[in-house]
Structure 1
Amino acid sequence: MSSLAVKPRLTRLTPETGKRLICKAQADELTSMIQSSHSIDASRHFETLYLHQYEAIKSALLGKHTLITTPTGSGKSLCYTLPLFLNSHPKMMMGWVEKGGNGIVIYPTKALGEDQKEKFVRWEGMSGGNLNVGVMSGDVPVEKRRGIFDSSNVIITNVDTLHHYILPSSDKKIVEWLSNLALIVVDEIHYYGENKIQTSFEGVMNRLRLRSPNQTFMATSATVTDRNKLVPCISFNEISKDTSGSGRQCYYVTKSPILAPTPAQQSPVVTVAEICLKAFKCGLKVMGFCRTRGLCEAVYDIILRKTKDFPKKPEVAIYRGGYTPTVRKQLEENMFRGFYDIIIGTSALELGIDIVGIDVVVILGTGMDEGKVKQMGGRCGRSGREGVVLQVCFNGESEGRAYDVPEICWSKVKKGNLRDSWADRVMGMCRAVEGGWGEKEKALWGEDVYDDVVAYWSAKGKLFEQGGSWWAKQSMRNANKLLQIRNVEPLTYLIIDVNLVKEDEEITNRSKCVLDTVTYSRVFYYSFPSAIILHRGVSYEVISVEEPPRILGGESRKECKVLVKRFPTVTYRTEPFQKTNLTLTKTFSSIGKFATEGTLNVKRQVWGYRKIDKKTGLEIARSEIALPAIEWDTRCIKFSLPRGEILARNVGMTGEQFDTGLHALNHALSKSVALFVDIEEGEVDCDHIHHGGSHVLIYDNKPGSNGPE
């Protein structure tokens, strides 16, 4: 790495850990805990376990709530798969129940859960028919849901499906299945504890816990930072010492050469690509992380162009959201086999994907918390090999400070708990529908939330009191629909290669002509008419974009089309120009003297674009376009400032200076939010007002965000 234009600065070293399997006595101990007549030689099977896996499995068999926090790639999934397998046996005796029971495995995303189902197939074969795993998601037709619970004793699902379909169900089979729930597994639990859906996650877990009396929780995470923010009222036995064998990891921070002759050479995107190629030339396998699909495609494109004349070309892959299931599965299989020399991806690579043999991790951008850096960096240095992690700063003063003072890359800012009062109220009402809102619920949610739920819904006439508990009225039986746990955008666009469309073909997201999918909030920014888009290293020109329906949701179609054609000889890229109009539609609470909380209508419109030469990075042309605005309602906080009073007090200040300072303050506060509450940078935006303003306004930056009512 010494040939970089700017010398990397060391930020942290992690120690090497030794590989340690369990001994025969420990394997025998596990065997003796399992009083069954399995057809497999359990003792011989157990002797292949790492020590931390043995400790986690033993903890679960004793009925202890267990948290496994060993690094990425250390075999955490086996820690819960084996207890699920053992628990399925009808003659099993374990700490949590005497005759086994049902299990639920909760993955962060639907796609990840469906992929993980295949890993359970060999365990089903070994169980002699005792282990039966089903996948339950919102895509499963209503008439088939009962059959899944009839035939399965382990259900793979996600928090959204639990909230909308499983917990609200009045089907007697599903209710009975939940009452015999013994083991609850939450994979990648940090995803919920370090995310603004934390309140909703806690509510779903509380509702699930109240459905059966005897449950053991198991959770995994390589990066959990606050053990107290996992599952309320549960104390975990933590297994944290890695015994799978990992080499030392060296963390560095670097930046692009700011005095390079052209803007393109000053780009941190180019720096990431060059680091990847230097690693490849040294015989190392490398993985690069970028924040957006556009940045990933840009790095991937540069690597392909720079290796065009290499005598031995690297095998390069790009992995991000939006791929069709077939493409995603093929990429994951190749990564598991260690096929690729260079992998470029977004945060989609962080969750549950097995990747072997990585020596170097390159991360574009700083400003993320310690846990996220560790999650990404944990991809290298496995199997006793030393790993190198390089963070490349974006150009700009805030990122440049991370190079000047690299210790801030690991600073531990104590983030606040972004409590969502609306999520608490909806979860409380859902529980009142499912089993009442009483003393047990008060113990789990806490007295403050309990009282607020009662006061809020009673005032609206939606609760009645009976037998010491509060119950939902019939009109609230679909209370779950009042809350989308994650931002669910009302529309998806399919990116379609016109040259691959067959005559009279009915196009779905699994059709071969579909290259990609784009969310409603990004479609005109990413794929406006005449835009050049990159897909896995191939350039396409956008021919047309279907206009969205006037009314989103309801019975309207959920997918629209973007038609593209190949443009392999293009020498430029495109960047859009956009404008945003904000209208405060409702104010429903005050925060102190100057701040109010309310709902906001957002209209965002792309009105033009520019062409930029790929080689020089210089602008070569501009064009105007007419596109419909993307519109949605969201939540906001507005801080009103007494403009006239401030100008009167500061005699030397001009209106222009006030406007400049106010504009900077809007951006500074919106960027700072992610430092103090558990959201990602970019999930909030601000009013970009330049002239005559008198407020700071910060809002949730995605369609589908939960409003208060």
Structure 2
Amino acid sequence: MKRLEAESAGDDRLVQRYEIPPRPPRFSPWPEWVPGAVREAYLQLGVEQPWSHQAQAADLAYAGQPTVVATGTGSGKSMAAWLPILSELTVAQSEQSTRISAVRHRPTALYMSPTKALAADQLQSLLGVIAAPPQPLPVLAGICDGDASREMKQWARAQADIVITNPDYLHHVLLAGHPYWVRLLRSLRYVIVDEIHSYKGVMGANMALVTRRLLRLARHYGADPTVIALSATIKDAQQVFARFLGVAPERVQAVTEDGSPAGSRHFVLWQPKIIDFGAGDGSGEFGAEGAPPFLAAAEQLLREREDEATWALTGVMPGSAPDDDLDEILGITSAEEDAASPARGMEFQRRSLNLEAAWVSATALLEGAKTLTFVRSRVGAEQVAKLTRRELRINHSALADAVAAYRGGFLPEERRELERQIRVGELHALATTNALELGVDISGLDVTVTAGWPGTRASLWQQTGRAGRAGSGGVSVFVASENPLDSYLIHHPDAIFQEVEQSTFNAQNPYVLGPHLCAAAAELPLTEADLPLFGLTDDKILRQLAERTLLAKRPAGWYWNATLSLRAHELADLRGLGGNIQVVEEESGTVIGSVDEASAHRLLHPGAIYTHQAKAFEVRALTDSVALVRPFKQALTTRPTERTSVEITDEVSTWRSEDDLVTWHWGATYVLTQVTDYDVLRTPRLQFVVNRKLDLPARTLDTASTWFTLDPSVPEALGLDAASLPGALHAAEHAMIGMLPLLAICDRADLGGLSTVSHTQTAVPTVFVHDAVAGGAGFSRSGLQQARSWVEKTLRTVEECPCEMGCPACIQSPKCGNNNDPLNKEGAIKVLRFLLPRTPGPDRFDPSQ
């Protein structure tokens, strides 16, 4: 911390520093029902007494109460879940000699984790308890997921008292093949759902329905399991847990008072270093080298960014890809090329997010701190690890070899080895995606660095909770990126310290519910008694599925149509990513990766440069299932243009301002997107080379949107003519999309939008913000429910941004299909100021409409 303060003296990087005070422990006696052998096992691991929340939650679960434990990161929530089943199994074993049935029907438990890393970590910690001296507990635990060997899964199915798995395996294998799992299901006593706060949006709806189907099958086989949910960061835990199970809130219990100790922690708000393009005395005289100061600054910035930009965008390191004869290779004429400098018109520029995060990480390492750096993408993890190593080598530190990346896409054994190395001290730092955000126990960390807003306050506090676990102190640094939300938060930190967001998901979304009803019918025929479990009051949706020949109505209930060529369990997309397009190397036929269908046209269109594991490939052809690629060694990248149109199909809610000049709407919409062309850019400076046209079909999305319309007289009253209005609406749309994640549990990537001066249906200026998932996920509706706060925060962010024309910190969008053209910052401010007093506040909008 002292080194960060010293290094930032004289600049504006260290925005604010907070100290979170320590918290003393609160203990409770062991519950009377915990047998001595289980107490002794925990005692050998250093646990003399449970913390108060552990004892309270374990008591509730043992009594058969569905219980959610929502306490801080590192507070030992899993112990509360393990105590009941370990105790019951130990007692069952002691009764073996007198009750033979206890051997056949030993109680079982199923633990469900959102990630394989967390599942593997929980298995290891559980095995540590089971094997603790003086005598191992009579408990068998095993894991069943995509990383486990076939033999391990077969053993767990046949023998394990406790099965650890994830929702994907549960859905596709265990539930689909439930007759093979009768031993587990008929004795299922506890279902443990870990990190329940991570189940949000479409994924949350899917996981809720998978859990309900599990409970349905267990009850079919005669069991009545108690569900225990665990979460470090969740708002209104009781309400969320009840909605997850599809029951009334009074039927579940919530434990939220944290009895675990916590050391003093420092939380730092940080922004990247400014590289001033206007540096100098302002006289206009050249420096000693005969170059204007702003050009020297521009060259410094480009040198700093060259390695990372080239690597991140093309997978080609500087110097390894000569661009001689590129024009001849591509057939580009001199008239098509535009070599405009990226420095033109820039007043100042901050160092890139990944460079700054790497510098902060290296600084912490040089102070002897074990560090975990969270980034937003797989490429970013590799990049930050590489840049951190480079910074350490510049400082002649041997620690450069103790830094690694951790991300999805690694082999299971590679991930387990990295986890082991950081635990035992062979590695001192990991740059990771949110794969390590959840409850993996990596003890001894001193510092966490969060590079860019992780999407929610819940995720931020999950990440910062990695520093100073087990009651020790720690430091967490949030490094702001250049986007509207980060810019707002870094200068309005009160928004960071508000209560975490409530988990938002809709298990009645027909696009999600329909496939699960099909899967449930394939498992067991659906009857009238099953309707409440799925939140249904009638069989309308079942009749609709039957009309599509997916289900068949018979006297015993609704059956899956087994004559179809597809499996019922293939219909549900649990994580809301759609199907996958395989990326295949053309010459060898090797599958090198995959991309979800929704992103395929943007990332894998013919001619696109696709990057995988630091290697660049050119896409030669794209079909519905496969993209053929070949290695590409030139210093180029591609940028697609995407056109969007929106059709309003059902206007559900409407609110009109008192002067009738602004109307807010929410309802069902039909979004049509088409990738029409792409730019070829020369890296690392992203110089425009040529534009190429594409002939790709449009993609459609049935979703939900919030939109507002302006009376035709408004633009003239605001001084916006025909030339400035499109850019004003477009900029306002970008800024509003950028700020909505502050109010709804979502990421910017979960949203889309459209602005138009005259929509085909409304015939007036209109701005749409839609959920970028089929059926909608509640994000845009949350915006309308909090419209006053949404517009106010958006306006403040745009007004306070120091740029003149607009930048990534206010109105530019990294995913704009029109390449951020046109944009009008001044016009956006006028529109947002006009909107603010004409938005439905919480006292004026009824969310139940």
- Shorter-chain TM-score category? 0.7 to 0.9
Question: What's the offset of the Cα at 1:182?
Answer: 0.9
Give SS of 1:388's match: strand
Cα 1:14–1:450 shift into 2, 3 Å? farther
* CA distance in 1: counterparts of 2:240 and 2:515, whole angstroms: 20
1:597 has 2:668 as partner = yes
* CA distance in 1: counterparts of 2:125 and 2:636, whole angstroms: 42
- Aligned position for 1:51: 50
- Aligned position for 2:574: 485
Pairing partner for 1:155 from 150, 156, 163: 163
- Aligned position for 2:448: 361
* CA distance in 2: counterparts of 1:93 and 1:450, whole angstroms: 47
Contact 2:583 2:628 in 1 (8 A): yes
Question: What's the offset of the Cα at 1:580?
Answer: 0.9
* CA distance in 2: counterparts of 1:659 and 1:671, whole angstroms: 18
Give 1 or 2 for the bigger CA radius of gyration: 2
Cα 1:703–1:649 shift into 2, 3 Å? closer
The alignment covers a number of residue pairs equal to 657
Cα 1:284–1:691 shift into 2, 3 Å? farther
**What TM-score comes out, normalization by structure 2 length?**
0.65
Question: What's the offset of the Cα at 1:563?
Answer: 4.0
Amino acid aligned to 1:654: D
Amino acid aligned to 1:542: A
Contact 1:21 1:47 in 2 (8 A): no
1:375 has 2:462 as partner = yes
- Aligned position for 1:254: 270
Contact 1:187 1:219 in 2 (8 A): yes
Percent of aligned pairs with the same residue?
Answer: 19
- Aligned position for 2:639: 577
* CA distance in 2: counterparts of 1:323 and 1:630, whole angstroms: 34
Question: What's the offset of the Cα at 1:14?
Answer: 2.7
Question: What's the offset of the Cα at 1:186?
Answer: 0.8
Cα 1:73–1:301 shift into 2, 3 Å? same
Give SS of 2:195's match: coil
1:182 has 2:189 as partner = yes
Listed one character per residue, the Cα deviations across residues 22-53 of structure 1 (whole Å, up to 9, x for unaligned) are: 7xxx45x55x6439xx6995585486355224
Cα 1:60–1:648 shift into 2, 3 Å? closer
* CA distance in 2: counterparts of 1:93 and 1:679, whole angstroms: 50
Q: Which runs of 5+ in 2 are unaligned?
A: 277-296, 306-349, 655-664, 778-849
Contact 1:433 1:476 in 2 (8 A): no
Amino acid aligned to 2:509: S
Cα 1:686–1:50 shift into 2, 3 Å? farther
Contact 2:703 2:771 in 1 (8 A): yes
Contact 2:577 2:597 in 1 (8 A): no
- Aligned position for 1:105: 111
Listed one character per residue, the Cα deviations across residues 583-636 of structure 1 (whole Å, up to 9, x for unaligned) are: 66x8753434666524444333772343455xxxx5567455788869754333
* CA distance in 1: counterparts of 2:466 and 2:152, whole angstroms: 39
Question: What's the offset of the Cα at 1:190?
Answer: 1.0
* CA distance in 2: counterparts of 1:201 and 1:327, whole angstroms: 28
* CA distance in 2: counterparts of 1:242 and 1:399, whole angstroms: 33
Question: What's the offset of the Cα at 1:150?
Answer: 3.3
Question: What's the offset of the Cα at 1:135?
Answer: 0.8
- Aligned position for 2:747: 680
* CA distance in 1: counterparts of 2:621 and 2:202, whole angstroms: 31
Q: More deviation in 232-241 or 645-654?
A: 645-654
* CA distance in 2: counterparts of 1:689 and 1:542, whole angstroms: 37
**What TM-score comes out, normalization by structure 1 length?**
0.77
Question: What's the offset of the Cα at 1:692?
Answer: 8.6
* CA distance in 2: counterparts of 1:18 and 1:644, whole angstroms: 59
Contact 2:518 2:560 in 1 (8 A): no
* CA distance in 2: counterparts of 1:367 and 1:188, whole angstroms: 16
Amino acid aligned to 1:216: T
Question: What's the offset of the Cα at 1:334?
Answer: 1.3
Listed one character per residue, the Cα deviations across residues 49-91 of structure 1 (whole Å, up to 9, x for unaligned) are: 5522455445544444343334333443344345444444543
Q: Which runs of 5+ in 1 are unaligned?
A: 509-513, 568-572
* CA distance in 1: counterparts of 2:430 and 2:440, whole angstroms: 13
Counterparts of 1:234-273 in structure 2, within 5 Å, are 234-238=251-255, 240-243=257-260, 245-258=261-274, 260=276, 261-262=297-298, 263=301, 266-273=351-358
Cα 1:327–1:564 shift into 2, 3 Å? farther
Listed one character per residue, the Cα deviations across residues 196-234 of structure 1 (whole Å, up to 9, x for unaligned) are: 322232222222223324212222221122311123334
Contact 1:189 1:221 in 2 (8 A): yes
Listed one character per residue, the Cα deviations across residues 266-304 of structure 1 (whole Å, up to 9, x for unaligned) are: 333332222222222222222222222343344333323
- Aligned position for 1:511: none
Give SS of 2:394's match: coil
* CA distance in 2: counterparts of 1:287 and 1:92, whole angstroms: 45
Counterparts of 1:498-517 in structure 2, within 5 Å, are none
1:610 has 2:688 as partner = no
Listed one character per residue, the Cα deviations across residues 351-375 of structure 1 (whole Å, up to 9, x for unaligned) are: 2433222222222223743211110
Contact 2:458 2:501 in 1 (8 A): no
Contact 1:632 1:703 in 2 (8 A): no
- Aligned position for 1:654: 721
* CA distance in 2: counterparts of 1:669 and 1:181, whole angstroms: 47
Give SS of 1:351's match: coil
Question: What's the offset of the Cα at 1:345?
Answer: 1.6
Contact 2:143 2:153 in 1 (8 A): no
* CA distance in 1: counterparts of 2:374 and 2:692, whole angstroms: 33
Pairing partner for 1:319 from 390, 400, 406: 406
RMSD: 4.6
Listed one character per residue, the Cα deviations across residues 422-479 of structure 1 (whole Å, up to 9, x for unaligned) are: 1234445554555565675455455x65566467558779575868xx6346469965
- Aligned position for 2:93: 91
Cα 1:494–1:475 shift into 2, 3 Å? closer
Cα 1:371–1:257 shift into 2, 3 Å? same
